[in-house]
């Protein structure tokens, strides 16, 4: 799935072709008002997990903006990832790297809220990292 440069739908690449790392980036806004892109990604990942059985995935979440009405499906996507790991915790590992920009209070709060809501289990974690001009730092 590719993102049109100017549309308000996130780009999603969860093929894990790059050493087990997938990416979600861009804006989930007017063209993704119901967060359908996140719901589709969750469905795809469930199928992929059934196919692959054992894996180590890193999902880099690098979103510029998420409209509130799309945030619930985004939470659903994170919950799906956790469930996928819980089904076979000895053979599956998923790390979500949620990138936020310093000063983006809304995204920071959303990321913290999702992490607190889901908690962590063996094999699943959400790491919130701040993207600065000098590099990234874990929050």
Partner 1 sequence: MTIHRRRIKEMVARYGIGAHLDADHDVLVSAVRADLVDGEQLEVVLDELEQRLRDAEVEDRTIYAVRNIVLELAGNIRLHGISSRSEPELLVVNRRGADVQVWLFGQGPRQEVNRLSDIIRDIKAIAIPPHHREVLLERRNQGLMRRAEPSKVYGGGVGMLTVAALSSEPLWFKLGRAREVSSFALRSTVQVASA
Chain residues in the site for partner 1 (CB under 8 A): 4, 6-9, 27, 29-31, 33-34, 39, 65, 67-69, 71-73, 75-76, 79, 101-107, 109-110, 112-114, 117
Give me the sign of the Cα torsion angle 69, 114, 28, 19.
Answer: negative
Give me the sign of the Cα torsion angle 13, 17, 18, 21.
Answer: positive
Shortest Å distance, C-beta 69 to partner 1: 4
Shortest Å distance, C-beta 105 to partner 1: 6
35 neighbors 70 (Cβ within 8 angstroms): yes
Shortest Å distance, C-beta 36 to partner 1: 10
22 neighbors 13 (Cβ within 8 angstroms): yes
User: Which one, 53 or 109, has the nearer CB to partner 1?
Assistant: 109
List the structure tokens of 123.
């094999």
User: Which one, 56 or 104, has the nearer CB to partner 1?
Assistant: 104
List alpha helices for 53-124, DSSP H.
68-87, 105-118
User: Which one, 2 or 6, has the nearer CB to partner 1?
Assistant: 6
Shortest Å distance, C-beta 4 to partner 1: 8
User: Which one, 59 or 100, has the nearer CB to partner 1?
Assistant: 100
Residue 129, φ and ψ in degrees, nearest 5:
-120, 140
């Amino acid at each position: 799935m590719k993102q049109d440069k100017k549309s308000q739908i996130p780009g999603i690449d969860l093929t894990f072709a790059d050493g087990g790392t997938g990416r979600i980036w861009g804006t989930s806004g007017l063209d993704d008002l119901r967060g359908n892109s996140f719901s589709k990604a969750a469905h795809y990942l469930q199928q992929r997990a059934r196919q692959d059985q054992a894996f180590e995935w890193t999902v880099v979440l690098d979103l510029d903006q998420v409209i509130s009405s799309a945030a619930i499906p985004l939470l659903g996507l994170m919950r799906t990832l956790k469930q996928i790991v819980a089904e076979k915790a000895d053979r599956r590992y998923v790390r979500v790297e949620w990138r936020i920009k310093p000063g983006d209070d809304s995204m920071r709060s959303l990321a913290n809220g999702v992490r607190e809501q889901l908690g962590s289990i063996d094999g699943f974690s959400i790491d919130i990292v701040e993207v600065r001009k000098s590099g990234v730092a874990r929050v």
